[in-house]
Chain A
Amino acid sequence: MSKMTIPLGPQHPALKEPVNFTLVLEGEQITGSTVNLGYNHRGVEKAAESRTFLQDIYLIERVCGICSHSHTTCYITCVEELAKALVPERALAIRTLVAELERVHSHLLWLGIAGYEMGFETLFMYSWRDREQVLDCLEMVSGNRVHYGINTIGGVRRDITAEQKKIILSKISYLEERTKYYVKLGTEEPTVLARTQKVGMLPHDVALERGAVGPTARASAVKRDVRKDEPYLIYDKLDFNLITHDTNDVFGRLVVRVLELVESYKIIRQVLNYLPEGPIAVKVPAKIGPGEAVSRYEAPRGEDFHYVKANGTDKPERVKVRAPTMANYPSVSYMLDGGYLADVPMVIAAIDPCMSCTDRAMVYDNKAGKVQIYGWDDLRKYGIEHYKKRGIDFSKM
């Protein structure tokens, strides 16, 4: 059979992010593939050099829509090391709390995407509905659903109240119940098994060789998690397990992520019960350095890496960001080779490449010339009333 080369992307229904794959096909089987990146290069590293350390937090937060807290925490750890700032324990605990809420949000989002890619849209609807619970927590704690802006040099910007703690704990209990269901679903449901087992294989030694990180590596039995290997924030005081799986396929990546959700709930409970009293931030001078620092952080997608060089002014000399997806792309071409075209979206989605989301509806009243912003409660009320007029009552749900 003659070989055929087809481009997949940069814009395609399998993935909502610009990346191009050149696939060489023999029939339906893939015999070679290359990944072409760079469609979304925004020059963040150059832009960081012309802003102050503080302004850079908000720039770096926008590197990613989901791992926003991961990137700022990783960056800020470098800056604080250079400034020799002693960050209060309470601030570190709050950072850890937001970090784990972010991981729950990211993994539930991924679970939905995985369901969507395998044609199991009920799973997508369920897990995205449950994800709202954790987004509500993040909004309550930080004021935003994504891009929390909680970090500042020397600490955090908002404190956690006793009432917030109670609400987070109750939502976590709900999510824990739901996750039990997902564990059962992920390991027993025939649709899930048929679409994920023996798909996108990444053997242990290849994962090591190609520098895979995060759940992608851990599903190939690579025991690598920065939270355990080089504990940052307050992870050395917490009790949680490093989750690995040895099936090396998409199924393994699903199991690792779902079980990591359970560990994250454990961590969130411990952090909330630990939460030491004290200030949430210290003052740090605007001019920092000179010096260089590197730091790592276990983002939901894997090891995030930042390098900061200071030259004694209020602006950094150089900032380098290496997001986890970047480290996982070399593994993708291996996973695709020998597989089938129909599995490509599933395999690509299984490394959990990033995307961004936002919410809020704005309604423009033409007659009055007014704009009204609808929050979640307003939208819910509007929906219930809309259906009530048509004879269906959802108000008791």
Chain B
Amino acid sequence: MSEFEKEEKIKAQLEAKFGAAITELTIQRKNRIWFEIPADRIPELMKFMKTEMGHTHLATITGFDGGENLGANYHLTDTHGIITVRAKTPRANPHLPTVTGVFPGAVPYERELEDLFGIKIDGLAPGRRYPLPDDFPADQHPLRKDWKIADAYPDEATAKQEAA
């Protein structure tokens, strides 16, 4: 397909290096590629894409709650297009490796994963929590689908019921 020449080239380059580790690769449209890779290969992949493929900018990391699995989408860009890499981790014991060794600017994005999804980031330097307040219960993770506001703020939920 000549329409997606650049995208096909990226696909070939990634598959040559990582082979069967890369699954569900889709070229959504021009400048948009999505694929999945096992969580433990993430730092290696980031390093390769940054140094060998010119994807020098990690735009952000989006956490997600997919039921049985939690996970993260890493959005990388070479300024012209966005490649989104998905990594999953089991809900029972969620943890992902840090990418701060490759992208130092990723610290706040990884703290978000820890705070809002409860995904443990292996290798992330210790520091103050972000973005939740210091007195927020440490075992609650608001962006998980089963979290309800009453879990952390029971008073607020009863006040709403009374008003209704």
Which A positions have Cβ atoms within 8 angstroms of B? 34, 36-38, 41, 43, 45-46, 208-211, 224, 229-230, 292-294, 296, 303, 305, 307, 309, 318, 320, 322, 326-327, 329-331
Given contacts A38-B131, A305-B59, A305-B60, contact A294 B82 (CB under 8 A): yes
| Interface flag for B81 (CB, 8 Å) | yes
Smallest beta-carbon distance B92→chain A, Å:
21
A307 to B84: give the CA distance in the assembly, Å: 10
Q: A318-B65, A322-B109 are in contact. List 9 more A-B contacts (CB 8 A).
A: A46-B142, A230-B79, A230-B81, A307-B60, A307-B75, A318-B64, A320-B62, A322-B59, A326-B108
- Chain B residues, CB < 8 A from A43: 142
Within 8 A of A (CB), among B119-164: 127-133, 142-143
Inter-chain contact B75/A211, CB cutoff 8 Å: no
| Interface flag for B31 (CB, 8 Å) | yes
Q: Which of B116, B129, B131 has the most CB of A within 10 A?
A: B131
Q: Which of A211, A305, A327 has the most CB of B within 10 A?
A: A211
Q: Which of B32, B59, B130 has the most CB of A within 10 A?
A: B59
| Interface flag for B80 (CB, 8 Å) | yes
Which B positions have Cβ atoms within 8 angstroms of A? 28, 31-32, 34, 56-60, 62, 64-65, 73, 75, 77, 79-82, 84, 103-109, 116, 127-133, 142-143
27 contacts between A and B (CB under 8 A): A36-B128, A36-B130, A37-B131, A38-B129, A41-B131, A45-B143, A46-B142, A208-B56, A208-B57, A209-B105, A211-B58, A211-B105, A229-B79, A229-B80, A230-B31, A293-B28, A294-B32, A294-B75, A294-B82, A296-B82, A318-B64, A318-B65, A320-B60, A322-B60, A326-B108, A327-B105, A329-B108
Smallest beta-carbon distance A201→chain B, Å:
17
- Chain B residues, CB < 8 A from A292: 34, 84
Inter-chain contact A41/B79, CB cutoff 8 Å: no
A363 to B116: give the CA distance in the assembly, Å: 44
Identify B143's interface contact among A46, A210, A331, CB under 8 A. A46
